[in-house]
Structure 1
Amino acid sequence: MESITKNRQSTTTLRAMVERAYGPQQVPDGDDFATELSYGFFNALYRVRLRDGTQVVLKIAPPADVALMTREHGMMRNELAAMDLVRRESDVPIPRLDFVDVTGEVIGADYFFMEHIDAPCFGIAAEAGELSTAEVTAGFEDLGAVNRRLAAIVGPHFGPLEGEGFATWREAATAWFEDVLTDGEKAAVDLGWGYGDVREAWAAHADALEAVTEPRFVEVDLWAKNSMIRDGRIVAVIDHERAMFGDPLMEAGLTGLDLPDFPDPAPFARGFGLGELSDHEHTRRHLYTLWLAVTMLVETTYRGQPPEKYRWACDQLDVAMSLLGRSR
């Protein structure tokens, strides 16, 4: 996926980063030691072969001069905090961190090296038809079970993993949703709806958020392409940059409950242990779908994505608004 936020580097700079992380004895020869992994949406990602043949993954945060959405600032550091928390508080498999550099001395941006997981990306393998229907179903069920284990982690507040949070989920969710709308207004993004109409749709149903009284760990982006699979089991979860303390019902694996363009959520819900939703739970889920739809739409401008991506995101917002009783 193309995005202007991807901080690509020359082979010369990549060698310098390898040397800083692993020492001069591991600096590779030639120019074919790094392969960009292009399926990410935000950071630059490389698979790197060290001199001794070991493969690792390098993840690089966006350059300092690229405009980011409000909640995207410091996302790599949030990911590092999430990985530390998951490693300490759960048995969910995540890659080993080898080296972290947040000094800005080499490329003016944060980056880290981590273990390369020798397994297919679940989402890519499924899309390519490399997995049977049974394997895909088993994978989504296991991903839901992973979500259940992550959601067992209780936080000290709602909102960010570190720093000052919010006392209630309604406050946290509304503040972050408002940040996305403000980002859209600043960039003059046409939502296809009035910003006031979208705010009113949220406010009219925000009471449902008050049912969430315990801050739980939520990856937010726990979907097939952020997981690695082997023999029908999830062997690693990656991309923890959007993690927060909130309502597990907002997890990406449940998006298909509202938006038909997303995968069938039933296997994920089974693994998660989620049964039939109550009316209040449906309303919360609709609010999270609205939040996601607006985010995807505003992102198209901040990422420099093509018109077809913008039109698709507009369609998702139309669905989200209709779920909350809004029509043109």
Structure 2
Amino acid sequence: MNTHKYRRRLDREDLGRVLTESGVDCGGVREWSELTEASYNTAYRIKLTDGTGLVLKVAPDPEAPALTYEHGLMRTEAEFYRAALGKAPVPEVVHISGNEFLLMTELPGANWFGQRSAITEPAGLRTELGRHVAALHEITGPGFGYPQNRLLPGWRAAFTAMMADILADAERYEAPLPIAEIRGLVHANEHLLDAVRTPVLVHFDLWDGNILVHDGRISGLVDGERAMWADPVAEFVSLALFGDIEQDQAFFDGYGPFEFTGDIRRRLAMYRCYLFLIMIVEGMPRGYQGARHEQVMAHTRQLLDRQLDRLR
């Protein structure tokens, strides 16, 4: 089963209805095109005759197979942008329609990953990124967890529920993983989560593909659909997805001093396990396949095993 067949594409009439609902003059569209970078939602770049640029994200068919947490993601992304607006470079929400579509302003630039060979001073960008992430982590929320779910008063309860969901998904899709052992290791370490008292805004997917760069500066933090109110340490996972955030001095030059104690490293290991589980399991209902996918999955499984070792 491949999620691509569940992706919803718009024709010109569909686009007009969406723009009208959003309060945008559909007669003012100069051009529009699909953004090929999107892999789960469908995304369009829209140019209006007055020069305004917009981006429209359309959710997959509701019948598409998905992980438990992958409901209401449009609402989560909109909440992330609204919470971060004015504090970090994010799009402005123009209109959201339930979990159907999200219309936002277009930001200048292209994603860092696609420009990586042309970026001559990555350390400076990492420092700038650190400042933006620090600003996100000054934004506090009303409880812990995913915005699309019922927020909980404690981080331990929220995170263990999130982990329970992804492990249930792993069982449902028969992922070849040591599920019982993972449950046991999380349970043995979950008391460390009680040290987290304040829910802050965490993007949780800040790899280079979700960071826009324009004229040598960071111009946008996008694709906030995995955002949560959480432990700020959870942010460090995607910021160094296949690397070691502790060695990223340029980032901490912007973020500010941070001490990695033994307990914090174990919390970080739990968050890494969670994201690696998502990466491994999500490809099953979406029907991902091919040599490249298998290679990435093998590497991700090695990284997961390494984090499990740190929790033993």
Bucket of the pairwise TM-score, normalised by the shorter protein? 0.7 to 0.9
Helix, strand or coil: the match of 1:217? strand
Instruction: Indicate how the Cα distance of structure 1 residues 209 and 313 shifts in structure 2: closer, same or farther if over 3 A, else same.
Output: farther
Distance 1:7 1:96, change over 3 A: same
Match of residue 170 from structure 2: 184
Inter-partner Cα distance in structure 1 for 2:281 and 2:42: 20
Q: Does the Cα contact within 8 Å between 1:151 and 1:218 map onto a contact in 2?
A: yes
Q: Secondary structure at the match of 1:48?
A: strand
TM-score, scaled to structure 1: 0.83
Aligned length: 307
Give the equivalent residue in structure 2 for 1:14.
15
State the partner residue of 2:186: 202
Secondary structure (helix, strand or coil) at the match of 1:222 reads coil
Q: Secondary structure at the match of 1:325?
A: helix
CA contact (8 A) 1:254 1:269 kept: no
Indicate how the Cα distance of structure 1 residues 317 and 274 shifts in structure 2: closer, same or farther if over 3 A, else same. Answer: farther
Q: CA deviation at 1:316?
A: 1.9
Q: Secondary structure at the match of 2:110?
A: coil
Determine whether 1:277 maps to 2:279. Answer: no
Q: What is the one-letter code of the residue matched to 1:79?
A: E
Query: Quick one: which of 92, 95, 99 aligns to 2:95?
Result: 99
- How far apart are residue 246 of structure 1 and its match? 0.8
Is the 2:29–2:47 contact (alpha carbons within 8 Å) kept by the matching residues of 1? no
SS in 1 for 2:114: helix
Give the letter for the 2:250 counterpart: P
Question: d(CA) in 1 for partners of 2:173 and 2:307?
Answer: 26
CA offsets per residue over residues 182-228 of structure 1, 9 Å max, x none? Answer: 1121122223xx21122122222222222212211111112322222
SS at match of 2:226: coil
1:66-104 CA-to-partner distances (Å, cap 9, x unmatched) read 0121111001011112222222xx5212122233333xx
**In the alignment, which residue of structure 2 is the partner of 1:124?**
114
Contact 2:114–2:209 (Cα < 8 Å) also in 1:
yes
Q: Which residue of 2 aligns with 1:105?
A: none
Runs of 4+ in 1 over 6 A off after TM superposition: 261-264
Deviates more, 1:284-293 or 1:136-145: 136-145
Is the 8 Å Cα contact of residues 18 and 27 (structure 1) preserved in structure 2?
A: no
Mapped to 1, the partners of 2:113 and 2:159 lie a distance apart of 28
CA 1:254–1:183 in 2, change beyond 3 Å: closer, same or farther? closer
Question: C-alpha offsets along residues 126-169 of structure 1, whole Å, 9 cap, x if unaligned?
Answer: 1xx1211x1x2211221121110110112221113366322221
> Runs of 5+ in structure 2 lacking a partner?
none
The change in CA–CA distance for 1:55 and 1:207 in structure 2 (over 3 A counts) is: same
Q: Classify 1:154/1:7 alpha carbon distance in 2 versus 1 (closer, same or farther; 3 Å).
A: same
Counterpart in the other structure of 2:153: 167
Q: Which residue of 1 aligns with 2:25?
A: 23
Q: Distance in 2 between matches of 1:226 and 1:113?
A: 17
> What percent identity do the matched residue pairs reach?
27
Q: CA RMSD in A?
A: 2.7
| 1:298 is the counterpart of 2:298 | no
Alignment TM-score, normalising by the size of structure 2: 0.87
Deviations 1:283-323 (A, max 9, x none): 11111111111110001112221243244234323323233
Shift of 1:241: 1.3
Q: 2:140 aligns to what SS in structure 1?
A: coil
